[in-house]
Amino acid sequence: MTPVHLAGPRLAMREVEPEDTDDLLAVYGDPEATRHLSFEPRTREQVQAITDRSIAAANASPRTEYCLAITRLGEHRLIGYARLATEPQEAATIGFALHQAEWGKGLGTETVHLLCALGFNVLGLHRIWAARSPLNKASARTLLRAGMTEDGRIRDHVFVRGAWRDSITYSILEHEWAPIDGLDTTSALDRSAAPPGGETVPGR
Ligand SMILES: CC(C)(COP(=O)(O)OP(=O)(O)OC[C@H]1O[C@@H](n2cnc3c(N)ncnc32)[C@H](O)[C@@H]1OP(=O)(O)O)[C@@H](O)C(=O)NCCC(=O)NCCS
């Protein structure tokens, strides 16, 4: 496994570690942060399983899932969780969540840009897409702000909280993505923390 290290102006993404469970629980166990997600607040045991699965996915070959810890640049503590899962036809779906204390500072937008950097720059994908709850206004604004286009609606996409729920979908194509200012995907900032063989993202 070649660990992924992504750096943006204020955020970084790194591989998930067993020690991330409590910080991830602060996000995935929070009723407010999970209000519009496709699952109910997670227990510690469930979050532990997510941590374990994230680490297993990182070691799978070929790797199709990138479940990454979001941190502040230069810091180690997990403040959010991001996932990119590849699909056939050079595509991937993304998902992300930040700790409530970090909302409203532009970090959600930066998160989507970092996932685009991973998908387009590192993995050479053509299309990245995301789905949100129809009620998730923050996600709607964040996906548009990052340059994605609303595609449409998947009816009865997920069964959650005892009912079927539609999703609104968004996508962005490789030639449409315009990285935010200061998104330095060639940054070696995390290299010192990376295990031997760790890679930073090559420039576009
Ligand atoms: C979605 C989420 C990542 C957004 O993170 P964030 O750091 O607050 O987003 P940003 O600060 O980058 O804001 C991006 C845009 O969303 C808008 N926005 C943020 N929160 C909002 C809210 N509650 N209602 C309406 N708009 C909101 C911002 O004003 C900004 O829009 P603008 O640039 O047009 O002014 C965060 O709310 C979150 O983690 N939510 C819980 C998990 C989740 O819903 N994930 C998405 C699953 S699809």
Report the DSSP pairing between strands 4-7 and 199-200: parallel
Q: How many whole angstroms separate alpha carbon 110 and alpha carbon 75?
A: 16
| Residue 58 beta carbon below 6 angstroms from any ligand 1 atom | no
pLDDT tens-digit series, residues 130-163 = 999 999 999 999 999 999 999 999 999 999 999 9
For residue 28 and ligand 1, the question of a CB distance below 6 A is answered with: no
User: Which atom of ligand 1 is nearest to 139's Cα?
Assistant: 1
Q: How do the residues of the chain divide into helix, strand and coil, expressed in percent and rounded to 5?
A: 30, 30, 40
pLDDT at position 180: 83
How confident is the model over 8-59, as pLDDT tens digits? 999 999 999 999 999 999 999 999 999 999 999 999 999 999 999 999 999 9
Largest Cα–Cα separation, the chain: 47
User: What are the structural domains of the chain?
Assistant: 4-200 (3.40.630.30)
Q: In the predicted model, what is the mean pLDDT of the chain? A: 91
Residue 2 pLDDT level (bands cut at 50, 70, 90):
confident
CA of 108 to the centre of ligand 1 (A): 6
Percentage, residues of the chain above pLDDT 70: 90
In this prediction, residue 129 has a pLDDT band, given cuts at 50, 70 and 90, of very high
Supply the pTM of this predicted model. Answer: 0.92
